[in-house]
Structure 1
């Protein structure tokens, strides 16, 4: 296995995580994706027209549950990337507090702006 492997550009679309593998021109036989220690099946390594390798990881519906779900992408004993899916009330509470904080800060800015132009 080559030490220069890296996996970048991760994004999720239509239930599939996708990233670009660099540091090699060939698919990596030891590439493995796990969730809570269990392997995820259906992982693909697709060689593009420029020789780039796109890694595609389908996210199984049965692992999507309330809370935080973390997936590890490894080659041998080295973690190349990870991605996280958050669902349910865990996220809802975080977003509400962030929005409340942003609203409070916006009100402070509006008052300061109005005061500045009133003077």
Structure 2
């Protein structure tokens, strides 16, 4: 059995789009937000590209609110998460968790350099 791969191509006009490859038959896709299914998901064959499918997920406007909203795209047959996308609204970048993680990485790198410098100075 060939493993299916879902690759994001874009988000446009409130619709997430991706190309799914590795399935001869129309794949069954399940999209969820906060463990509730999203309706209106379409899977259509890509012309002249056997085994590739265009996946379109409309983002319901009623799900957009302040904060981080994560959508999981799963293989309905196995329940395996193939892809996810996140939409962040109303939150300043300073408050974004990804910005915090990036800041922590930078601070960790600074501490590693200082520790290595300290080890070199005290070893010799």
Q: Above 0.5 in TM-score?
A: yes
TM-score by length of 2: 0.68
CA-CA distance at 1:93 after TM superposition:
4.8
Question: Cα RMSD (Å) of the superposition?
Answer: 2.2
State which of 87, 90, 100 in structure 1 corresponds to 2:89.
87
Separation in structure 2 between the aligned mates of residue 71 and residue 85 of structure 1, nearest angstrom: 8
Unpaired runs of 5+ in structure 1? 98-119
Gaps of 5+ in 2: 100-124
The corresponding residue for 1:74 is 74
Give the aligned length: 95
Query: Distance in 1 between the 2:65 and 2:15 partners?
Result: 16
Tell me the TM-score normalized by structure 1.
0.71
Which residue is 1:59 aligned to? 59
What residue in structure 2 maps to residue 33 of structure 1? 31
- Superimposed CA distance per residue, residues 21-73 of structure 1 (whole angstroms, 9 cap, x where no aligned partner): 011122113x1000000000000001121232000000000100000000000
Give the distance between the partners of 2:3 and 2:62, measured in 1 at CA: 34
